[in-house]
Structure 1
Amino acid sequence: MIQDTDPQDTGAVERAYRTLKEMAASFEFKPDQRLNESAISVQLSISRTPLREALNRLTAEGFLTFKRGQGFHCRALNPAEMMDLYEARAAIEGEAARLAARRAAPEDIARLRADLEQSKDRYTSGVSAVELIRLDEDFHRRIALMSRNAELVRLLDNAAARIHYIRVIDLQLLSERDGAPAITTQPHARILDAVAAGDEEGAAREMRCHISRRLEEVTANVRHAFSRLYAP
């Protein structure tokens, strides 16, 4: 619960922003649902001014939409938008991997390689899709950080958050169909090998291929997302 109700308290705005971002990313608000600002204000124990600031920020970042005369709504959930985000992520991360191959510190590479090796045992039957996504997102963000480009990291954070819900469903379905062991760390190892070798084009190519291979499942995953969101 957010207790600070001071309209000028930037801490209150930040806490509201983070809470609502998580709710929007996981579609706790249904797609296109109108947000009840009064109810949210009470729920988060925050006044309307910092709440509105947080909502405007989330709208600018693509998590919410604003309709004149109707207020704030949760973003839509459609295959075209998800496809755009996957393609944007592939472009962002391809460039991040290319720069990482040029700029990554040897100690960062060694640390990530050790963590990647240790995580292999986590890809077993029974592991949750949420845990698999956590491991995956951690790897990708660390590669982006190795690029030494803060804007690429920021763009990746936004895209990753907006497709997080669909990616959880994607891995759930893939795991149910083929078993968790079918989801391996091998693509990550190939990306890291290229980064370690200073192979800029190879790192970019491996990263883009790794992300793009799930594009064909986007439409089906959105359909499954709707069935889960509106299941009785």
Structure 2
Amino acid sequence: MTDWDPSPPAAASGGRRLAAARAEARAVRQPLERPAPLRQAVYDVIAEMIINRELQPGEHLVENELAAQLGVSRQPVREALQRLHSEGWVDLRPALGAFVHVPTESEADQLLAARTLLETESARLAARLATPENIEHLWGLQRAGEKALSDDDQEGMVAANAALHAYVVSMSGNNVLAELIALVDRRVRWYYAPIARSRGREAWDEHAALIEVIASRNGKRAGDMMRRHTERTRESYHKRRKEAAEREALA
């Protein structure tokens, strides 16, 4: 298997120094547990680092730095990066190495549009099948999200948002729908992370209204509300990208 040269050319030295500074600033992680297949564990950790933006889009991924950070050899890191490349999380550039993928406007729009369709149907079915126990659990997830919001805990907000949406999907009783949504869940969390704060109170107010409609067992209203909720998230993502592009143009 081809190894990557972790040293970029002179033209990219500024970016290399920035990546090194980021790596040094991160807390040293505990060595990974060994009972699970190591390459899978390394893959999962790096994927989560990308999703929660610990590794930023466009950031250079240096094998030996990641290996030292995770307390493993370079081989499982190399295997994890190859898999992440095949799944679209990482870009491999000849003579430069591996970089976190930078999602395009089109990629994000297509995925968030598919999410809207899938989650609209899941909410419709969830409302028809909802039990008092389901509703109680949804309110518990809502409280966790509101606590993360009040604590200004971005990672907590992303996790709570994902958990609430996943539970609505599980309530639908449709295993095929659940499998399809699971395919896009990680990437949705990746896109949601930068707007978790800006969506903030609005998103959690929408969640509370959605839970109330699901509790009323009105499938049509629940589906319509979920569609509007996910479309607002989609719009917020595109608005943030546009604002970021405008700031970059002025810099």
Per the normalisation by structure 1, the TM-score is 0.71
Q: How does 1:1-16 map to 2 (within 5 A)?
A: 1-3=30-32, 10-16=36-42
Shift of 1:25: 1.4
5+ residue gaps, structure 2: 1-29
Shift of 1:211: 0.8
Deviates more, 1:82-91 or 1:49-58: 49-58
What SS class does the counterpart of residue 213 from structure 1 fall into? helix
Residue of 236, 240, 247 corresponding to 1:217? 236
Tell me which residue corresponds to 1:88: 114
Separation in structure 2 between the aligned mates of residue 193 and residue 170 of structure 1, nearest angstrom: 24
5+ residue gaps, structure 1: none
Separation in structure 2 between the aligned mates of residue 81 and residue 148 of structure 1, nearest angstrom: 29
8 Å Cα contact 2:162/2:189 also seen in 1: no
Tell me which residue corresponds to 1:204: 223
Q: Which amino acid aligns with 2:162?
A: E
**What do you get for the CA RMSD once the two structures are aligned?**
3.7
Separation in structure 1 between the aligned mates of residue 55 and residue 203 of structure 2, nearest angstrom: 32
Residue of 131, 137, 159 corresponding to 2:184? 159
Separation in structure 1 between the aligned mates of residue 172 and residue 153 of structure 2, nearest angstrom: 30
Residue of 33, 43, 46 corresponding to 1:20? 46
Query: Whose RCO is larger (CA < 8 A, sep 6+)?
Result: 1
What SS class does the counterpart of residue 214 from structure 1 fall into? helix
The percentage of aligned residue pairs carrying the same residue is 26
8 Å Cα contact 1:166/1:225 also seen in 2: no
Q: Which amino acid aligns with 2:58?
A: D
Separation in structure 1 between the aligned mates of residue 191 and residue 244 of structure 2, nearest angstrom: 7
Q: Compared with structure 1, are the counterparts of its residues 119 and 87 closer, same or farther at alpha carbon in structure 2 (3 Å cutoff)?
A: same
Q: Compared with structure 1, are the counterparts of its residues 218 and 53 closer, same or farther at alpha carbon in structure 2 (3 Å cutoff)?
A: same
Shift of 1:120: 8.5
Residue of 85, 90, 109 corresponding to 2:135? 109
Q: Which amino acid aligns with 2:31?
A: I
Q: Compared with structure 1, are the counterparts of its residues 164 and 66 closer, same or farther at alpha carbon in structure 2 (3 Å cutoff)?
A: same
Q: How many residues align?
A: 219
